[in-house]
């Protein structure tokens, strides 16, 4: 049952993180993570990129994709403030996992075969925060995106 009738239509639509360099981040989230770019909105000072997994493998038109990003869950919004990618004084963004700036933790991707997924990430040169063999939890890994945000990689069916 929905908690209340008033919230029955609500969806957890997206999560937004800032990125330094869209070239690096789009290559990472599309080619390595496997998301599709649903929409790109360029403004004067910044550009927004909306990505999601296209599970039903549907062939959507650009217009359909642009709408789909508001009607589903699991969308990732990347915000690029123009200029950070070439600014030698840009300090980078905080991952949220160390002081100062602790708060946000990570996003998480479920996969069918976590060992195979991690082998592929290794082969593609992805940085790991925690390999499957590190620590206590042997069925969870953490990789890092180009800005250093943590991405948990875990099997789609598991129990803690």
**Is 77 a known ligand-binding residue?**
yes
Residue 93 neighbours by CB under 8 Å, 6+ apart? 17, 18, 19, 20, 147, 148, 149
Structure letter (DSSP) for residue 132: T
**Is 36 a known ligand-binding residue?**
no
CA–CA separation, 50 and 70 (whole Å): 10
To the nearest whole angstrom, how small is the minimum distance from the Cβ of residue 85 to a second copy?
15
Helix (H) or strand (E) holding 114: helix 114-123
- Given 36, 40, 85, 152, the catalytic residue: 152
CA–CA separation, 160 and 141 (whole Å): 14
| Residue 11 falls in which region: left (phi positive, over 0), alpha (psi -120 to 50) or beta | beta
Nearer Cβ to a second copy (60/128): 60
Nearer Cβ to a second copy (95/141): 95
To the nearest whole angstrom, how small is the minimum distance from the Cβ of residue 87 to a second copy?
14
**Is 64 a known ligand-binding residue?**
no
Tell me whether residue 152 is one of the annotated catalytic residues. Answer: yes
Nearer Cβ to a second copy (73/133): 73
To the nearest whole angstrom, how small is the minimum distance from the Cβ of residue 86 to a second copy?
19
Nearer Cβ to a second copy (88/100): 100
To the nearest whole angstrom, how small is the minimum distance from the Cβ of residue 102 to a second copy?
6
Angstrom distances, CA of residue 79 to CA of 1, 18, 41: 35, 5, 10
Q: Which two tokens stand for residue 77?
A: 């919004």
Q: Which two tokens stand for residue 120?
A: 């592929």
Query: Which residues does the annotation place in the binding site?
Result: 77, 106, 152
Query: Which residues does the annotation place in the binding site for Zn(2+)?
Result: 77, 106, 152
Residues carrying an active site annotation: 152
């Amino acid at each position: 049952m929905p908690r209340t009738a008033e919230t029955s239509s609500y969806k957890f639509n997206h999560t937004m993180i800032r990125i330094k360099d869209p070239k690096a981040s789009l290559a990472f989230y599309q080619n390595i993570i496997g998301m599709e770019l649903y929409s790109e909105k360029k403004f004067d000072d910044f550009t927004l990129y909306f990505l999601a997994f296209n599970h039903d493998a549907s062939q959507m038109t650009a217009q359909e994709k642009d709408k789909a990003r508001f009607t589903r869950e699991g969308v990732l919004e990347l915000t690029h403030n123009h200029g950070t990618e070439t600014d030698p004084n840009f300090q980078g963004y905080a991952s949220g996992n160390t002081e100062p700036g602790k708060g946000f933790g990570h996003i998480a991707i479920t996969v069918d075969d976590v060992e195979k997924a991690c082998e592929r990430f290794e082969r593609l040169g992805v940085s790991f925060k925690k390999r499957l063999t590190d620590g206590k939890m042997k069925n969870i890994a953490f990789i890092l995106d180009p800005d250093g945000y943590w991405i948990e990689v875990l099997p789609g069916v598991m129990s803690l």
